[in-house]
Structure 1
Amino acid sequence: MEEVDKILIHALRQVGTLLSEEIDSVKQFSSELIVEAVVRCIRVIDPGLGGALPTSLPPGMSARFRVGMSLAQACQDVGFKGEIGYQTFLYSHESEIRSLLMFLVEKLPRESAEASDQPTGKSAVLQRSIAAAIRSQLAISWVPPNCRLPLHCEAQNRGALHSLRVQPLSVPHGAKGFDRKHLKEAMDYRRDVLPPVTAQISSRASLVASILEQHTTELSAAQEWDNEWKSQGLLSRLTPQEYRSRKLARLHKRIEEQLRSATAPPPDGAFGVSRSTSELSELLQTFRGSAPSNDILSKGTHFTHTQKFSFTLETTAIATSPVLAGRQTEGDVQLRQQEEIAALQQQFQQLCSDVDQLAAEMKRAGVTNAQVLDELKQRELGNVELEEKLQVKRRTISLLPDADGNLLKLQTQVESSAQRVVNLASQWEKHRAPLIDEHRRLKEICSNKDLESSRKLSEIKSLHEKIRVSTEEAKKKEESYKQLVTELESLPKDVSRSAYTQRILEIVGNIKKQKEEITKILSDTKELQKEINSLTGKLDRTFAVTDELVFKDAKKDESVRKSYKYLAALHENCNQLIQTIEDTGTILREIRDLEEQIETENSNKSVSNLQRILDDYKAIRQENAALAAKIREG
């Protein structure tokens, strides 16, 4: 059982049970440890069922009984068929606990049992070392820098408090997509101009973060392109370069549309603008500079330029009369300026109203012009139709003097036209049949090609899926191999494989010897039973023959009659002796069974369990008395 207990203890440690290194057998498990191990296993098997179970026993006896009953019910729910109850956890029995733990360990899912141990591969070693370092740092209480001792300075130095900042890096990639000229220029740039990665950053503390960010960006872009090409690119039936160029063209077109919609003036009375358009307009406004919004992208007309020029002349004339302004007082100057401003505003309003009137008149004139143009087109079309009708009538009138001859000519012409139409129809039928056959053949070829391309596309998708699954399996196997290699390296070197092999062979040899001895004992028992059965039959037959012979002579001779009585008494005494021997063997077997039961009960710690039961009974009585006292007081 030692090997079984070691396997069980290893599996329980994998699922998170806190077992000390001194425990190497199920016999050493306490009630609290049994409860914790069972709850951990149930949580791995069925998280919904084990989430409500506590991992430790409460102090109260009634609560312990309830926890034991809930654990027994949970074990039955996960499929345990053996006899189980609260006594299995509170008054533990070694064999019952071993069988229960063996069932739970066998019930553990393989993936979770493997994943619950540790991650695999080289990353596992790195993660374990990182976790150990973090745990060791968290175990040390934090103290201010001025109060730190040399022990704290090792893990709480100021050098570890700098912030990580990511900076863009320019990393040379492969020469794919370059022609010879551009390839040479790119190589010259990378060799002579492009600085190394360590020189592209401002602080060495951000080197690792920048490289990791660059690598993550490239890796995510490659994965996104791979997924997009497998999902949409293959369906487009284009090459990767054509698909990329078409996607880039669509992107450029969308950007141009967004820019046009952003730079276009909003319609009159439209106050609500979408958030994206307003943000893009603000961005374009920042690109244009700090000029007023009225002057941006405003082409202007000759009238506006004339008005601006006249206003500029008037303002300059006002500004260039300092002698007149110097002769007047300051109040007169302000009053005159206000009057001029009012006059200018009135003039400006008048000009604006004139402009509005002119614009309205232009709109009306444009509408009238469009209506006139439409009417002119309609009349021109009517004139064309009338001219055609007039020509037909003229030709008809010219044919009236010789109506009979013209009718004959017309009939012959109609017949010739009909014959020509029939000839053309027959010729068309001759050409149409092979064309229809060719069309059907080409259509069938096209459909076959479509089916073939669809089939090949599905095969390509299935191959991609198989490649992905095979890659994942290869990665898992490689990580498992690396983990096994690391575990092999961590194992002690003094124990050789031959020692384990020799031990296994010795166990197998002992099992064979035990089987041979059991077979020998069974064969001896069968032979003895056969001999006993043959002797019993021989004895019965001998007694029957002797009884018959003696009984015949007993009728004639008195001495023979006494011999017959002695023979019957001897046979009865022999039967009693045989029955006594059989009873003695049965009693001896019962004695051995009772001795084994006594040993089993002694190994089950029945006396200690009875004592624990009595103590628990007393504790329950005390709890009941305390509860009754509380009820009476209430």
Structure 2
Amino acid sequence: MEEVDKILIHALRQVGTEVGEDIDRVNQFTSELIVEAVVKCIRVIDPGLGGALPTSLPPGMSARFRVGMSLAQACQDIGYKGEIGYQTFLYSNEPEIRSLLMFLVEKLPRESSETSDQPTGKSAVLHRAIAAAITAQLAVSWVPLNCRLPLHCKTQSKAASHSFHVHPLSLPHCTKGQKSLKEVKHYQRDILFPVTAQFPSQTSMVSSILEQHTAELSNAQEWDTEWKSQGLLSRLTPQEYHSRKLTRLRKRIEEQLRSAAALGSAPSDLILTKGTHFTHTQKFTFTQEVAALTSPVHTGRQLEGDTQPRQQEELAFLQQQFQQLCSDVEQIAADMKHISVTNAQVFDELKQMELDNVENDEKMQVKKKTIDLLPDADSNLQKLQSQVEASANRVVNLASQWEKHRAPLIEEHRTLKEFCSSKDLESSRKLSEIKSLHEKIQVATEEAKKKEELYKQLVTELESLPQDVSRSAYTQRILEIVGNIKKQKEEISKILSDTKELQKEINSLTGKLDRSFAVTDELVFKDAKKDESVRKSYKYLAALHENCNLLIQTIEDTGTILREIRDLEEQIETENCNKTVANLERILDDYKVIRQENSTLAAKVREG
């Protein structure tokens, strides 16, 4: 059992259980350590089930019983068939705990499964613990600060919450194959602030970095998806595809600007007569500039003969005129908007009327020609019939000529179509091969990264291991264990073969005894009818046979009793290992604590 316990402890340490270095047996596990080990194993086996389980026992006894029941139910949910309950965790029993831990360790993901690709070192355990903690926190409903109870202290954060505010970041970007300008390098090296100094408040730092990273990752994924779906079909290099996409985007922007300018523009005569908001603004600006240029001269002349009140009155008058001009400009701008809308409506109506006029003119021309032909209808009909026949003959002639040219063209079209279809098939096959190669490259890259991380982790663990212990010692120990197992198997098989031989010999002797007694009984019984002494011998023979049967039965009963004694001794030893007396004492102490808690709660209820 010592080797089994060492294997179990090693597996528990790999899943993140903090087992002390001085613990090397399962019987040294405390209730807290048992609960932690079971919860860590369940979280690795089923993160959704183990995320809501606590890794430590609460201080109250009633809460401990509830935690024990929830752990027992979780173990049954993942497939444990043995007897389990709250007593398994609170009043530990070495065989039960060992069997439970063996079941959980066997249920852990193996190397052959997909989850075994994850490294099992301290960093990987820390990452899994963080993921489990986040999952557990997401599973708990959020409660406001004013409504939180003491039991929410472990599941709810005490820190003040902040809104998700994003601040734009300025980051240095370098493109492969292109050299940055000296001014850009100077700006990035000497002027650009660090990322942590670009935020107005530290509360927006995490959200801004997450938003920036998410945007860059999203752009990279979108570009990868677009290149695999459309870029490969264009048969261009990534740089050519990117430049063509930018060119198309510029053309679309220019077309949109031209269309917007064409819709927003007005006729030249209206612009010349009425003017636009831009022309009025220019005129008003020019007026202001002229006034600003002429006002110093004017004020300089007035200062020679006028007094200070005269200047104030003139300034108030000018301000009033300025306000009046501003209101006039606003009114003119509103009128221009209204006029532009009305103008657009009028132009639409004019276009529609022009279209209607053209259609009416065409109808009128057809009717006019028809009316002109009515006075000489018979001759006109004959002319029309002759023209129709000539057109039909011309059509037949053209059809015969077209058939002469059509056959080689159709044949050439079929040849080109087959050639194009073969090219399309070949190009599609090559595209599928390229996509599969991309996927294989991506999978191989991910596997290489995982193996590189695993290699670094294994190197770190190898360096941290004690160097004074040689591998030959472990190999020798394993070989000794294997040799002992082989010896035990040989001894067991030898005992089984001896038992079979002994049973065969007993069965043979029993059959021989029964046959000998039957023959002797028959012979003596025949002579007992004639001789008195033979009759006595027959009685002694029957009594001897009965006593022998009783002796054999007594020996068998003695063997059965000895086996029962050994079984009872093993049960006594098992019960002694189960610490039944100590567990009963702990149960009594816990019972007293629960009664005390109940009395305290009842007193609080009465006081309330």
Instruction: State the TM-score, normalized to the length of structure 1.
Output: 0.65
Q: Residues 387, 13 of structure 1: CA spacing in aligned structure 2 closer, same or farther, 3 A cutoff?
A: closer
Cα distance between partner residues in 1 of 2:537 and 2:557: 30
Which residue pairs with 1:544 in the alignment? 518
Which residue pairs with 1:244 in the alignment? 242
Alignment of 1:67-78 (within 5 A): 67-78=67-78
Which residue pairs with 1:588 in the alignment? 562
Cα distance between partner residues in 1 of 2:425 and 2:599: 86
Cα distance between partner residues in 2 of 1:533 and 1:439: 98
Q: Does 1:81 align with 2:84?
A: no
Alignment of 1:208-223 (within 5 A): none
Deviations 1:456-479 (A, max 9, x none): 333322321221112101211222
Partners of 1:198 and 1:207 within 8 A in 2: no
Alignment of 1:85-234 (within 5 A): 85-109=85-109, 111=115, 114=118, 117-119=121-123, 174=177, 201-202=189-190, 225-234=223-232
**Shift of residue 70 of structure 1?**
2.4
**Shift of residue 535 of structure 1?**
0.9
Greater shift after overlay, 406-415 or 30-39? 406-415
Which residue pairs with 1:474 in the alignment? 448
Q: Residues 566, 301 of structure 1: CA spacing in aligned structure 2 closer, same or farther, 3 A cutoff?
A: closer
Q: Does 1:460 align with 2:463?
A: no
Query: Structure 2 residue aligned with 1:422, among 378, 396, 400?
Result: 396
Q: Residues 388, 595 of structure 1: CA spacing in aligned structure 2 closer, same or farther, 3 A cutoff?
A: closer
Q: Does 1:439 align with 2:417?
A: no
Partners of 1:170 and 1:197 within 8 A in 2: no
Alignment of 1:15-26 (within 5 A): 15-26=15-26
Which residue pairs with 2:155 in the alignment? none
Q: Does 1:602 align with 2:576?
A: yes
Q: Does 1:496 align with 2:481?
A: no
Alignment of 1:296-335 (within 5 A): none
The residue identity in structure 1 corresponding to 2:190 is S
Alignment of 1:306-385 (within 5 A): none
Cα distance between partner residues in 2 of 1:311 and 1:628: 93
Name the SS for the 2:190 alignment partner. coil
**Shift of residue 27 of structure 1?**
0.9
Cα distance between partner residues in 1 of 2:50 and 2:186: 53
Q: Residues 523, 561 of structure 1: CA spacing in aligned structure 2 closer, same or farther, 3 A cutoff?
A: same
The residue identity in structure 2 corresponding to 1:94 is E
Partners of 2:45 and 2:108 within 8 A in 1: yes
Deviations 1:222-272 (A, max 9, x none): 77644442243224454434322222213434665787799999899xxxx
Q: Is there any run of 5+ residues in structure 2 with no aligned partner, and where?
A: 128-168, 199-208, 267-274
Partners of 1:61 and 1:619 within 8 A in 2: yes
Cα distance between partner residues in 2 of 1:488 and 1:76: 38
Aligned-pair identity in percent equals: 68
The residue identity in structure 2 corresponding to 1:90 is L
Which residue pairs with 1:613 in the alignment? 587
**Shift of residue 76 of structure 1?**
0.8
Q: Residues 525, 225 of structure 1: CA spacing in aligned structure 2 closer, same or farther, 3 A cutoff?
A: same
Cα distance between partner residues in 2 of 1:302 and 1:603: 104
Name the SS for the 1:202 alignment partner. helix
Q: Residues 561, 450 of structure 1: CA spacing in aligned structure 2 closer, same or farther, 3 A cutoff?
A: same
Q: Does 1:531 align with 2:534?
A: no
Cα distance between partner residues in 1 of 2:185 and 2:541: 119
Deviations 1:374-428 (A, max 9, x none): 99x979x979x989999x989x99x9xxx99x99999999877654443222112
Q: Residues 378, 603 of structure 1: CA spacing in aligned structure 2 closer, same or farther, 3 A cutoff?
A: closer
Greater shift after overlay, 8-17 or 93-102? 8-17
Cα distance between partner residues in 1 of 2:186 and 2:293: 64
**Shift of residue 16 of structure 1?**
3.4
**Shift of residue 81 of structure 1?**
0.6
Cα distance between partner residues in 2 of 1:326 and 1:229: 80
**Shift of residue 551 of structure 1?**
0.7
Cα distance between partner residues in 1 of 2:592 and 2:315: 111
Greater shift after overlay, 499-508 or 477-486? 477-486
The residue identity in structure 1 corresponding to 2:24 is D
Cα distance between partner residues in 2 of 1:501 and 1:345: 101
Partners of 1:201 and 1:207 within 8 A in 2: no
Name the SS for the 1:434 alignment partner. helix
Q: Does 1:515 align with 2:489?
A: yes
Partners of 1:167 and 1:201 within 8 A in 2: no
Deviations 1:33-84 (A, max 9, x none): 2122222322333344334433333444444333322221221112111111
Cα distance between partner residues in 2 of 1:332 and 1:198: 59
**Shift of residue 316 of structure 1?**
9.9
Name the SS for the 2:444 alignment partner. helix
Cα distance between partner residues in 2 of 1:590 and 1:550: 42
Q: CA-atom RMSD, angstroms? A: 5.9
Deviations 1:117-137 (A, max 9, x none): 4347xxx9xxxxxxxxxxxxx
The residue identity in structure 1 corresponding to 2:227 is W
Cα distance between partner residues in 2 of 1:554 and 1:353: 155
Q: Residues 541, 378 of structure 1: CA spacing in aligned structure 2 closer, same or farther, 3 A cutoff?
A: closer
The residue identity in structure 2 corresponding to 1:490 is S
Cα distance between partner residues in 1 of 2:501 and 2:326: 138
The residue identity in structure 2 corresponding to 1:534 is S
Q: Does 1:578 align with 2:552?
A: yes
The residue identity in structure 2 corresponding to 1:478 is E
Who wins on radius of gyration, i.e. which is larger? 1
Partners of 2:121 and 2:457 within 8 A in 1: no
Which residue pairs with 1:274 in the alignment? none
Partners of 1:36 and 1:55 within 8 A in 2: yes
Which residue pairs with 2:43 in the alignment? 43
Partners of 1:44 and 1:108 within 8 A in 2: yes
Cα distance between partner residues in 2 of 1:219 and 1:316: 59
Cα distance between partner residues in 2 of 1:262 and 1:412: 56
Cα distance between partner residues in 2 of 1:38 and 1:496: 33
Which residue pairs with 2:542 in the alignment? 568
**Shift of residue 2 of structure 1?**
2.5
**Shift of residue 296 of structure 1?**
13
Cα distance between partner residues in 2 of 1:173 and 1:55: 49
Partners of 1:15 and 1:113 within 8 A in 2: no
Deviations 1:418-463 (A, max 9, x none): 5444322211222233334443444454455445434433332232
Partners of 2:45 and 2:109 within 8 A in 1: yes
Query: Structure 2 residue aligned with 1:483, among 457, 475, 486?
Result: 457
Greater shift after overlay, 492-501 or 327-336? 327-336
Q: Residues 197, 207 of structure 1: CA spacing in aligned structure 2 closer, same or farther, 3 A cutoff?
A: farther
Q: Residues 531, 339 of structure 1: CA spacing in aligned structure 2 closer, same or farther, 3 A cutoff?
A: closer
